[in-house]
Chains A and B, each alone.
Chain A
Amino acid sequence: MSELTLKANIDRPDDFYADLLAAHEGLPKAQSDALNARLILVLANQVGDREVLKDALAAAKQAMHRDPARS
């Protein structure tokens, strides 16, 4: 593990996206938020590498939409 991949890397992205939505299907917001938090931690453990995790946090922050109407 060395660098964060920001190129397309997910096998069959439409299927993954559908799985993600299905996992949240019917959950109240609090449980959805909790599920997301657990998912982040599980994935972070899979990555393991602290540098890659830092880069991932930075990439996620960089893509934050600045439109005040959405904040």
Chain B
Amino acid sequence: MTKIFETPLYPYERSADQDAAEPVRHPVVVIGAGPIGLAAAIDLARHDVPVVILDENDKVSWGSRAICFAKRPLEILDRLGCGQEMVDKGVQWNLGKVFFGDRKVYDFNLLPEEGHHRPAFINLQQYYFEEYLVNRARALEAEGKPIDLRGGSKVTAVEAKDDGVLLTVETPDGPYRIAADWVIACDGAGSPVRSMMGLDFVGRVFEDNFLIADVVMEAGFPTERWFWFDPPFNKGQSALLHKQPDNVWRIDLQLGWDIDKEKEKKPENVIPRLKAMLGEDAKFELEWVSIYTFQCRRMEKFRHGRVIFAGDAAHQVSPFGARGANSGLQDTDNLIWKLKLVMEGKAPETLLDSYDAERVHAADENILNSSRSTDFITPKSDQSRIFRDAVLDLAEHFEFARPIVNSGRLSVPATYDGSPLNGPDVAGMPDRTRPGAPAVDAPIGNGWLLSRLGDRFQLMTIDADAPDRIDVEGIEVERLELSTNDDPSGALAERYLGDAQAGIYLMRPDQHVAARWTKFNEAELRSAVNTATGALSNRVETPD
């Protein structure tokens, strides 16, 4: 059977650009058709911004790779129009078990909060994730949206200028050049664009190797996340078992630093390791095996003039916590609306510097969390191992030690505290929806709040009056009129009002809160819209 990741989904086709006398200029070129590049291009095309995606390959990713997708990225995919496929195919899980040696020390339930459309997490192979994104791109193309996915097209030179970028693209028919007003580089942790531009990528290397095996089996294991510290079948190391769709199980085995990678990857060496874990009689088939090492690092700046980096190209974390692809999707969610406003002349180019500020802040949070998980999972000194083992021993007997156990702090979205785009806040309103925070979902009538937010600036009013539409120097702010009666469960009031009787929220196109008040004031709203779009302070109108 041909697997999806063996099928060319976007084979090379000759482009008219290759026959042009002069390099054809495009508004946006995205480099890399992985999850992040595809999401960026889909978001642009949905807004009728013409986009070309260049990828040296023509297939989705080989092997499962990123498998754990969190709630916030699923909400972003809903906005992009392909969240449902992911959730339908994905495996949902809430229960986790932690083992130490041969004992189960405790289990936990993620106990998702009620009143959200999307689950806390789904497990889904990256190849399905990419396939659904490619399908979405194709559907947009069929609707006449300006999206042009070019496989077999490898960028070999990048010439960044003040007002655009010139790219050389290698193809089976030879090289050609195209120009772009803007380039979004989503070409992965090894980013050739980053190297060609001679940009830094510094951080911490972890001296460890992990064997990942995707195993197809009809197993009696429940749909849970099992994590072992120092298991009998992998002494002194760690192991993870996680379920994916189609009876594929993801197994991660820590191997240590001094190993022969090529040798360890061979089935004759992998299979005995798996049998030691799953039992001698376990019947399974190996789908994919890989060995990875990892680093925690980021670029100093994600924006370099007209070239903007996103996803692993900009920042890399350890896999513990599922903060790679999940944070990359939040990068483009943050970037695309800003880029569109700048391209339309509705916001100054400096608005893009807020992408840097907000997403560097998020990357630092992810690096901190994933480094700490790594330090717990793979202690770097005798003393850190003594404390790690002490925590695990205590966790078996006492509840207090369980929150210290760190087998990965699972991805949660960053709140852009201190962002230059944030406007006023009100004391006594809920902390979780403060300016900079992503909107928290809530049931509204027969649907969900988040399905009514996004893609434009909105004024969300809860039991408060405001005009239906306000134009702030070309930026239209549309009212979303809500009442606490829309949600009998009380979640809307709890998540957005707190102590207040009424609420007015200025929501960004990426569904983040820009500012909030308890009653409408036009001058304050105008000022907050200007702040949220990076407009110069002298454009702020004074109250009359």
Contact = CB atoms under 8 A, between A and B. Distances in A.
A34 B389 contact: yes
A33 B393 CA distance: 13
A37 B404 CA distance: 13
B393 A34 contact: yes
B390 interface: yes
B384 to A, nearest CB: 10
A41 interface: yes
Interface residues of B, number: 11
B386 A37 contact: yes
Interface of B: 386-387, 389-391, 393-394, 398, 400-401, 404
A15 B386 CA distance: 27
Helix, strand, loop or mixed for chain B's interface? helix
Contact of A34 (B386, B398, B401, B404): B386
| Range class of the A interface residue count | under 10
Contacts of A41: 387, 390-391, 394, 401, 404
A54 interface: no
B400 A45 contact: yes
11 contacts: A33-B386, A37-B386, A37-B389, A38-B390, A38-B393, A40-B390, A41-B387, A41-B390, A41-B391, A42-B398, A45-B401
Nearest to B395: A41
A41 B395 CA distance: 11
Interface of A: 33-34, 37-38, 40-42, 45
Given A34-B393, A40-B390, A42-B394, 13 more contacts: A34-B389, A34-B390, A37-B386, A37-B387, A37-B389, A37-B390, A38-B394, A40-B387, A41-B387, A41-B390, A41-B391, A41-B394, A42-B398
Nearest to B382: A33
Contacts of B391: 41
Contacts of A40: 387, 390
Nearest to B393: A38
Which of A33, A37, A40, A42 has most chain B Cβ within 10 Å?
A37
Nearest to B388: A37
A41 B387 CA distance: 8
A22 B389 CA distance: 22
